[in-house]
Chain A
Amino acid sequence: MTFSISKLLKAEKDLLADKKGFYKALGRAEPVAIRALAGKLAYDVRQATQHAGLTAEDAEELLNDAVVITITNIQNQAFQFADFSPAAYANGVVKKLIANRLRTKKPRQEALEDNFFASDFDPEVYLSNKELESIMGKLLSSLGENCQQLLRLKYFDNLRDKEVVEQKLAPYTTTTSLKSKRSQCLNKLIEIAKSAGLLDSFR
């Protein structure tokens, strides 16, 4: 690895030194862990994309995708902690993504993608769902701030209803009213997504 970590902040450096801590922090999608992973991957991604004849914009997108996939696979346990850094796993993801990009231009290149890491991940499914996620983001923003916040607290911050009420993170004084409002928001989103045909293409 030719990338120097001297430019990373101390917190990121400390995290990189502790593989298990790094893995857990990524699972919680902590910004410091996200930055540490991206910092660790950045140079290799740039080199690999240049080598593959891809653009700087492609490199940036691939980097973001690799971070998202690594975190998702930690969260759903597809990538379980072993005695190697999550950066190595993410590097495997990057290689697969690049191979997938190249497949659209050239015949299949086995040598690029057959690696031990990230063997469980299918770039085509990921890319197809990525578009749906982006549409979902737009649908979500049409729901209004209160709904967005309620859904975020539940599905991203993973907070329990009791915590949300106790910490006054939403304008509801009981878990029942909170849950009821969130359910309304979610059902509205489901209806919009259904009528847009979004769910039929989701894999």
Chain B
Amino acid sequence: MIFLTAIDKIAMNKFDIEAYLDGSLDAEAREDFEQEMRQNPAFAQQVEAQRKVTELLRKQMLREQVSSALANRPVAKRPYRWVVLAALLILLAGYFLFLRKRNNPTPPIPPPTNWNSDTLQTAPQEPTQNIVQDSLEIKNEKPPKPSPIAENNAADLPLPAYPSPNVRGQGADNAAWKAMLDKVWYTQLPPKAAKFKEPFPAVVASLSKRDFENAFVQLETLEGTSPDNDTLRLLKGYCLLEMGEGADALRYFSKLEESNPNWKAWLEWHRGLSLLSSGEAKKAILDFKKIANAPDHPFRRQARKALNVLE
């Protein structure tokens, strides 16, 4: 092993190894660089080490990318296997039903008297908070449990609970974009470990009811007195995001994790959605890739789904 002297270190600072390996040095600088390598074996060894490490890095990152892309690949199998399997399942199910009916004969059920075709249609999902409040009147109905998206471990991610905000303009392109956003719009309030003290609970209540206009007015009022408050910036960013103002949301989300590290994962995901909402799909993909490649990221599955949908 060759040990680096102070002179070698000066050479390394003077010469841009990265630029040399990239091939971005001009002819003269390149000639100087190569001359230094000929004269200084320790420097030449350092250049070679950097070349090897960056090559290994590139390959390893490519390998990760391939594994990640193939993780959700639909497996192509011969169709007849599926047909046979499906037929077997139908036969088994039929046999099971036959046995059950023979062992437990039940009287025919009369049709419901107030049945109408609307009951077959999927009712639009109401915001959870509304359902909780309405449950005071509809006493026999249990309010659905709010399930934190990020902690859902089911094999298939359910569709987002709420649609994405409306996209400006009309036409097939916008409709397609909106449909795509609807598939990945896994917004979440509040972020894990966020605590809202006065005067924010009222704003959070409005946001939870998805009354974004009202929340926006409340936030604007509060912003007049404390514009740099982190909680305010987080809530306003979220509010703007849900109102379809991704670019403005990004401004409010910026640098919040520096003073609130617990919000980092939440911010990364919602920043990605903000970019997507503002039409910056390429940048959003970069953010989603980063999340998808982070093994313990709470929004990893959402990011993977977003990447699948976007690509």
Which A residues are within 8 Å of any B CB, using their own CB? 3-4, 7-8, 11, 29-32, 34-35, 38-39, 42-43, 63-64, 67-68, 71-72, 129-130, 132-134, 136-137, 140, 145, 149, 151-152, 155-157, 167-169, 171, 179, 183, 186, 189-190, 193-194, 198-199, 202
Contact yes or no, B54 A68, CB < 8 A: no
Complex CA gap A202/B59 in Å reads 12
How far does the Cβ of A182 sit from chain B's closest Cβ, in whole Å?
8
Contact yes or no, A190 B53, CB < 8 A: yes
Contact yes or no, A193 B62, CB < 8 A: no
Cβ proximity bits B55-78 to A, threshold 8 Å, 1 near / 0 not: 111111111111111100111100
How far does the Cβ of B176 sit from chain A's closest Cβ, in whole Å?
13
Whether a CB of chain A sits under 8 angstroms from the CB of B38 is: no
**Given A38-B70, A38-B73, also A136-B62 (CB < 8 A):** no
A71 CB contact (under 8 Å) in B60, B62, B75: B62
**Given A31-B307, A38-B73, also A151-B66 (CB < 8 A):** no
Contact yes or no, B58 A155, CB < 8 A: yes
In the complex, which residues of chain A have a beta carbon less than 8 angstroms from the beta carbon of B52?
193, 199, 202
Whether a CB of chain A sits under 8 angstroms from the CB of B137 is: no
Contact yes or no, A68 B66, CB < 8 A: yes
In the complex, which residues of chain A have a beta carbon less than 8 angstroms from the beta carbon of B58?
155-156
**Given A34-B69, A157-B286, A194-B49, also A39-B62 (CB < 8 A):** no
Whether a CB of chain A sits under 8 angstroms from the CB of B294 is: yes
Complex CA gap A188/B42 in Å reads 17
Contact yes or no, A64 B54, CB < 8 A: no
**Given A35-B73, A68-B59, A199-B53, also A11-B311 (CB < 8 A):** yes
Complex CA gap A152/B56 in Å reads 12
Contact yes or no, B62 A68, CB < 8 A: yes
In the complex, which residues of chain A have a beta carbon less than 8 angstroms from the beta carbon of B53?
136, 186, 189-190, 193, 199
Q: Report the nearest B residue to A153, measured CB to CB.
A: B286
Contact yes or no, B57 A140, CB < 8 A: yes
Known: A29-B66, A140-B57. 18 other contacts (CB 8 A): A7-B74, A29-B62, A31-B311, A38-B69, A64-B66, A64-B70, A67-B70, A68-B66, A130-B63, A136-B53, A145-B294, A155-B58, A168-B254, A186-B54, A189-B53, A190-B46, A193-B53, A202-B56
A35 CB contact (under 8 Å) in B60, B62, B70, B79: B70
How far does the Cβ of B25 sit from chain A's closest Cβ, in whole Å?
15
In the complex, which residues of chain B have a beta carbon less than 8 angstroms from the beta carbon of A35?
69-70, 73
Contact yes or no, B70 A167, CB < 8 A: no
How far does the Cβ of B282 sit from chain A's closest Cβ, in whole Å?
9
Instruction: State how many residues of chain B have any CB contact under 8 Å with chain A.
Output: 38
In the complex, which residues of chain B have a beta carbon less than 8 angstroms from the beta carbon of A72?
59, 62
Beta-carbon contacts under 8 Å, B39-55 to A: 46, 49-50, 52-55
B66 CB contact (under 8 Å) in A71, A169, A198: A71
**Given A31-B68, A68-B66, A183-B18, also A190-B50 (CB < 8 A):** yes
Contact yes or no, B76 A133, CB < 8 A: no
**A–B Cβ pairs within 8 angstroms, 18 of them:** A7-B74, A29-B62, A42-B76, A64-B67, A129-B59, A132-B56, A133-B63, A136-B60, A137-B64, A140-B57, A156-B58, A156-B62, A167-B286, A168-B254, A186-B50, A199-B53, A202-B52, A202-B56
Contact yes or no, A152 B311, CB < 8 A: no
Contact yes or no, A4 B79, CB < 8 A: yes
Complex CA gap A32/B66 in Å reads 10
Complex CA gap A8/B74 in Å reads 8
Contact yes or no, A156 B254, CB < 8 A: no
Contact yes or no, A34 B65, CB < 8 A: yes
Contact yes or no, A137 B65, CB < 8 A: no
Contact yes or no, A3 B56, CB < 8 A: no
In the complex, which residues of chain B have a beta carbon less than 8 angstroms from the beta carbon of A31?
65, 68-69, 307-308, 311
Complex CA gap A9/B246 in Å reads 29
